[in-house]
Structure 1
Amino acid sequence: MTPERLRALLAEVAAGALTVDDAERRLAWEPFEDLDFASVDHHRALRQGFPEVVFGQGKTPEQIAGIAARIAPRGDGFLATRLADDAAEMLAAKIPAIELNPLGRTAYLPPAEPVARKTRGSVLIVTAGTSDLPVAEEAAVTAAAFGNPVERLTDVGVAGIHRLLARTDRLRSASVVIVVAGMEGALPSVVGGLVAVPVIAVPTSVGYGASFGGIAALLGMLNSCASGVTVVNIDNGFGAAAAASRINLLPAS
């Protein structure tokens, strides 16, 4: 249940179009649902503005589809991340309207009645290299699903910094910048030194042996000398987009 649906329900009660008992029954059905293998949180949207997001890694296709079957019919939208190919195929077969992003390994079903959200501006997602795109696309799909205008700036890492410097106008026009980089993780520091808005750094596991699966990039970003740079976990595009949304989305009036 979203805040908008709750207000609509309360308005029906106030107008006499819905009895208190009927409203109570609707609300009693909402908090969570026990599926044996999962407890689906149906009040996540009411608390946080978007329904529970399903993390697909480690779940079977049947489990993911079972959770989707309980969330999607409510009309508030559905998002799953870290999907294996077989899970994505099962979701597409069961929910034809779902939008798959194979590169980002996501599945997104828009809400039945899209809500126009007020934002401070756009979320710009910057990638150091093409190898960082899977994590960047996870962030892009998530940010868009949460109601943000999303822009992308790809393959502008420090190995050819002129590619970034030629596009500083795009950096400065964003309200929040998510920077996705592997290897030594230097790009967020560069971006942090060029903009006056929040920069969320995402280390990726891309790199040779001494990158230690993203730990080198993580430590480099945590030790950034540029102010305003915060860091999420390795390969956590979803977490970066969720944080960016909390910064960028304005409260409903």
Structure 2
Amino acid sequence: MGKREILEMVKDGSISIDDALKELGGEGYNDLGYSKIDYDRKRRKGYPEVIFCQGKSIEHVRGIIKDMLEHGEDILGTRADRTMYDELKRDFPDLKYNEDGRIIYLKRSHSQPVGRILVATGGTSDIPVAEEAACVAEFFGNNVGRLYDVGVAGLHRLLSHMDELRRAKVIIAVAGMEGALASVVAGLVSCPVIAVPTSVGYGANFHGLSALLTMLNSCASGVAVVNIDNGFGAAYIASIINRMGEKI
């Protein structure tokens, strides 16, 4: 409903002021005391609230999931370890877990996946961050491909997948060490490349800082960069790009 229609309904008494505020996005959250769950986010952004599990107690995550399920929401939680998942699954038997990506999820709504997001890594050690990105992108309703261990130390491995690279609508390039993968990929394709530096590497990698700086200084056009190890952020941006032109 539009704002004018909602205001008219308030005037004629067919909707309360509280309900009107929720429709207008002036409230739209539930306050649990320790967490304010944003139930208006899907309307505003196209995607629902996501739980960042790291640093939260199991009890808090359990309470958030319970409330979200009661509101008919699908569940996506990032940075959840195995202990948290095992505890939560006792209360939510349908909850699933991607161990590499540390993702918990429970999806009851289903739609046909669209477009094509390709997640590529420089090395096998980058897979945990890549799986976070791939799992989130799949949860958001995208077709997702994986292309792992195709870094610049053996460029022929990447070049043997040119058809797959060129079919993608957006590519997520995940790499540690010096982080050169994103520049190489962006120089070969016409689609946007989301670069994800990882904290993988020896001492002078500075826990991902060297890869981050390489990606920020890329001479290839069409590269956007997210924070170190931020597979979720890359997947979110890639999902928006992949679904541009349609109503989510």
Task: Tell me how far 1:252 sits from its aligned partner.
Answer: 2.0
Are the aligned partners of 1:61 and 1:86 in contact in 2 as well (CA < 8 Å)? no
Q: 2:133 is matched with which residue: 117, 135, 139?
A: 139
TM-score (norm 2): 0.88
What is residue 109 of structure 2 aligned with on the other side? Answer: 113
Q: Which amino acid aligns with 2:158?
A: L
Q: 2:247 is matched with which residue: 214, 228, 252?
A: 252
| Inter-partner Cα distance in structure 1 for 2:66 and 2:20 | 18
Structure 1 residues 90 and 241: alpha-carbon distance in aligned structure 2, compared to 1, 3 A threshold: same
What is residue 48 of structure 1 aligned with on the other side? Answer: 45
Structure 1 residues 202 and 99: alpha-carbon distance in aligned structure 2, compared to 1, 3 A threshold: same
**Percent identity at matched positions?**
52
Task: Tell me how far 1:62 sits from its aligned partner.
Answer: 1.0
Question: Equivalences for 1:112-191 in 2 at 5 Å?
Answer: 112-116=108-112, 119=114, 121-191=115-185
Task: Tell me how far 1:210 sits from its aligned partner.
Answer: 0.3
What is residue 237 of structure 1 aligned with on the other side? Answer: 231
5+ residue gaps in structure 1?
1-5, 11-18
Alignment root-mean-square deviation, CA: 2.4
1:87 aligns with 2:84: yes
Secondary structure, aligned partner of 2:104: strand
| Inter-partner Cα distance in structure 1 for 2:17 and 2:106 | 27
Are the aligned partners of 1:183 and 1:208 in contact in 2 as well (CA < 8 Å)? yes
Task: Tell me how far 1:27 sits from its aligned partner.
Answer: 7.6
How many residue pairs are counted as aligned between the two chains?
236
Q: Which amino acid aligns with 1:238?
A: F
What is residue 220 of structure 1 aligned with on the other side? Answer: 214
| Inter-partner Cα distance in structure 1 for 2:19 and 2:91 | 28
5+ residue gaps in structure 2?
6-12
Task: Tell me how far 1:74 sits from its aligned partner.
Answer: 2.5
What is residue 99 of structure 1 aligned with on the other side? Answer: 96
| Inter-partner Cα distance in structure 1 for 2:105 and 2:231 | 15
Are the aligned partners of 1:80 and 1:107 in contact in 2 as well (CA < 8 Å)? yes
